[in-house]
Amino acid sequence: MPLDLSTTICGKKLSTCIYNASGPRTGSSDALSKVASSRSGAVLAKSATVNEQTGNPLPRTFQADGKGSLNSEGLPNKGIDYYLSQDTIEESMGESGKPYFVSISGHNLADNLAMLKKIDSVDGVSGVELNLACPNVIGHPIIAYDFDQMDAVLSAVSKLKLQKPLGVKLPPYFDGPHFAAAAKVLNKYKSSISYAASINTVGNALVVDTVAEMPAISPKGGFGGLSGPAVKYTALANVKKMRDLLDETIDVVGVGGVETGEDAFQFLLCGAAAVQVGTKHWIEGAKCFDRIVGELEELMEKKGYKSVGEFRGKLKPWSKEGASKSRKAKKMSGGGNTRAEQAKIPVGKGGILPTIIVSFLLGLLLATAGFSAAGGDVTMGGFVPFGSLLKIHDGLEGARMGGKKKREL
Ligand code: SIN
């Protein structure tokens, strides 16, 4: 039986729980059509403003060392009418039958309200994501870091009584009271909000070019939103926290540093109803959705899960039993997990015991056969392997000391 990777957000069925984030490669029907024809479960357009705009001055993006990416695009987009036109929707979605979502990030509340009213009557739009988290609009702080402003925006939006489902894109939060304050505001408008997407980029990061002794990008003094693997753990924490704090009627959509099926699995474990991919989509193109979905299937198969619902939101508390299971699994797969392996001590795959036995036997052999036959120093012959043993022991102790020292620090 095929695995079931489907999910539901805002009451819309997605054939797979992986889809694109609003961001790179989502600004035109050409780009969106590539997403639609991949295994992405839905298609989400670039955050739109009322009118077309070119965004911040170039260069405004930087791919840093495979660990993080920086952008300060300033919402370049073709204007909301483009993303709502039947031509765009048709060209983007083709015969895919997948949900099509738009995203908005107006210059002000009036813009957002005007765009929401427009969106609400357009056929072929499954829902709208309201971006409360863009860090790159010059002169505009991130809305969702100002809880009063966030409340005012959502209050005005809720008064529109929209027919289309509404999602909100959130910035990362880092402290308990901030998670709680954000969740409180969102829960207040739970009848108007279908999902919360956590997280947008980590705002106002800076990449420095050592050679030129200047920032790597031009806008905002080089400050931009950080994305990619560097933000995955922050994103996971935000998804987990939001899932714990938000009303159960509000889905959490996970986004931030997702590169593999395993990453997606982790977000689902933390309670994400679906997982968006942004930076990896930017780097790899729409084929990343086929790969990530395939990897998630493989992992589910290995773990014996038939559907996403079987493990979603079921992150277990830390336990000694879990840690030991994990250690054993890593050891079996040859992953460096024991202290000896971490210290690069030359032990066999089976661990230290076979190495000791082999060394001992070798010592015995040399002592009794090789060296005595050659009239050599029997004792010396015996010492060679035992010397290795001592080194192994020293190494282990060193590793232990290293571990201890680290803990003490
Ligand atoms: C941008 O266009 O600056 C990125 C969009 C966002 O971070 O919301």
* pLDDT tens-digit readout, 340-351: 444 443 333 344
- Position 1 scores a pLDDT of 78
Dihedral angle, C-alpha 112, 114, 116, 121, nearest 10 ° = -170
In the predicted structure, residue 377 carries a pLDDT above the cut 60: no
In the predicted structure, residue 101 carries a pLDDT above the cut 90: yes
**Which residue in 10, 134, 270, 288 is the catalytic one?**
134
- Position 343 scores a pLDDT of 40
At a CB cut-off of 8 Å and minimum separation 6, what does 130 contact? 103, 104, 105, 112, 116, 153, 157, 166, 167, 168, 169
Q: 43: CA distance to ligand 1 center in Å?
A: 17
Closest ligand 1 atom to Cα of 135: 7
Q: Is the CB of 22 under 6 A from ligand 1?
A: no
Q: 141: CA distance to ligand 1 center in Å?
A: 13
Closest ligand 1 atom to Cα of 77: 2
* pLDDT tens-digit readout, 141-194: 999 999 999 999 999 999 999 999 999 999 999 999 999 999 999 999 999 999
Could you confirm whether 134 is annotated as catalytic?
Answer: yes
In the predicted structure, residue 364 carries a pLDDT above the cut 70: no
Q: Is the CB of 255 under 6 A from ligand 1?
A: no
Give the confidence band of 389 by pLDDT, cuts at 50, 70, 90: very low
pTM metric for this prediction:
0.83
- Position 336 scores a pLDDT of 55
Q: Is the CB of 73 under 6 A from ligand 1?
A: yes
Sign of CA dihedral 26, 28, 34, 40: positive
Q: Is the CB of 225 under 6 A from ligand 1?
A: yes
Q: Is the CB of 47 under 6 A from ligand 1?
A: yes
In the predicted structure, residue 338 carries a pLDDT above the cut 50: no
Contact between 119 and 84 (Cβ < 8 Å):
yes
Q: 140: CA distance to ligand 1 center in Å?
A: 12
Query: What is the residue-averaged pLDDT of the chain?
Result: 86
